[in-house]
C-alpha cells in the first residue's frame, strides 16, 4: 500500500478552505459471501450522512437514507453484516431520489465530502453511471481511512473499529449501518483535527 506521505494536511486544509461544513458519507450495499446470484449485482441500499462543523469540530446530526435496489436482494449474509432486512429496504427510495436529497439538502455538489476509504466514492460513481443518475458529489473528497493511517504512521490502512480502538474510543451504534458508520467516521476525523491543531 502506497500512502501520500507528502504533507497530507496541506491537501486536507486546501480541501477544507472556505467551507464551514464537511459532509461525511458512508454506504452499505447488497453483498454475498461469494459471488452474487445470477442476474444480481452489488447496489447501494443505505446512505449514511453526518454533517461535521469544522469550526466547532462537532458532528451536527446523522441520517439514514434507505435505497430500494433494482437488480438485487438482501442476502442472509448482507442481513447479518448490516442488520438491514429486505422489508426495510423495500420501503426505500430510488438512488436518483437520494442523490437529489444529497444535492439539495446537503449541498454535496459544492461542499467537500469524506468517507472511510475509496469504496464509497467508487461505488457511487459506478452505480450512478450504470443507472444514468447524475453524480451528486463534488470532486473534493477526503479519504479519512488513508489520512488516519498516514498520520498514525501505520504500515497499512485499518478498519473503522480498529481505528477507534487505537485512539481509545468505542464505536457508537451498530457497526456496518451506514448511518452509524458515518457518525463514527466523523468522530475519528474530529480526533485527528484535535491532535493536529491542539
Tell me the CATH number at 79. Answer: 3.30.420.10
Q: pLDDT at residue 2 above 60?
A: no
Q: 107 vs 11, 100, 103, 195, CA distance in Å?
A: 21, 10, 5, 28
User: Does residue 114 sit within a domain?
Assistant: yes
In a domain, 1, yes or no: no
Mean pLDDT on 183-189: 97
Mean residue pLDDT of the chain comes to 91
Instruction: Give just the sign of the alpha carbon dihedral 126, 129, 130, 133.
Output: positive
Query: Residue 6's pLDDT is what?
Result: 46
Q: Is this model's pTM higher than 0.75 or not? A: yes
Which pLDDT score is estimated for 9?
A: 64
2 in a structural domain: no
Number of domains in the chain: 1
Note whether residue 113 is domain-resident: yes
pLDDT tens for residues 122-168? Answer: 999 999 999 999 999 999 999 999 999 988 889 999 999 999 999 99
Q: Which domain holds residue 101?
A: 8-197
Confidence grade of residue 67 (pLDDT, cut at 50, 70, 90) = very high
> Between residues 151 and 29, which one has the greater pLDDT?
29
Confidence class of residue 194 from pLDDT cuts 50, 70 and 90? confident
Burial 103-123 (b: 16+ CB within 10 A, else e): beebebbebbbbbbbeebbeb
Radius of gyration of the chain (CA): 17
> CA dihedral defined by 113, 32, 1, 6, rounded to 10 degrees?
0
- For residue 3, being part of any structural domain is answered with no
Task: Collect all residues with Cβ–Cβ distance below 8 Å to 42 and sequence separation of at least 6.
Answer: 29, 30, 31, 36, 72, 123
Amino acid at each position: 500500500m502506497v500512502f501520500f506521505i507528502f504533507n497530507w494536511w496541506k491537501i486536507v486544509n486546501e480541501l477544507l478552505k472556505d467551507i464551514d461544513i464537511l459532509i461525511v458519507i458512508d454506504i452499505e450495499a447488497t453483498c454475498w459471501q461469494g459471488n452474487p446470484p445470477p442476474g444480481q449485482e452489488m447496489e447501494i441500499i443505505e446512505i449514511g450522512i453526518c454533517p461535521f462543523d469544522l469550526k466547532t469540530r462537532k458532528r451536527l446530526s446523522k441520517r439514514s437514507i434507505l435505497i430500494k435496489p433494482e437488480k438485487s436482494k438482501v442476502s442472509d449474509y448482507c442481513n447479518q453484516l448490516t442488520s438491514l432486512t429486505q422489508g426495510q429496504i423495500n420501503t426505500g427510495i430510488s438512488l436518483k431520489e437520494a442523490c437529489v436529497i444529497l444535492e439539495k439538502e446537503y449541498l454535496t455538489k459544492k461542499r467537500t465530502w469524506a468517507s472511510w476509504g475509496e469504496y464509497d466514492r467508487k461505488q457511487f460513481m459506478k452505480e450512478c453511471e450504470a443507472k444514468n443518475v447524475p453524480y451528486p458529489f463534488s470532486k473534493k473528497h477526503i479519504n479519512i481511512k488513508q489520512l488516519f493511517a498516514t498520520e498514525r504512521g501505520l504500515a497499512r490502512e485499518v478498519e473503522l473499529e480498529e481505528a477507534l480502538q487505537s485512539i481509545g474510543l468505542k464505536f457508537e451504534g451498530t457497526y456496518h449501518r451506514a448511518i452509524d458508520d458515518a457518525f463514527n467516521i466523523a468522530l475519528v476525523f474530529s480526533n485527528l483535527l484535535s491532535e493536529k491543531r491542539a
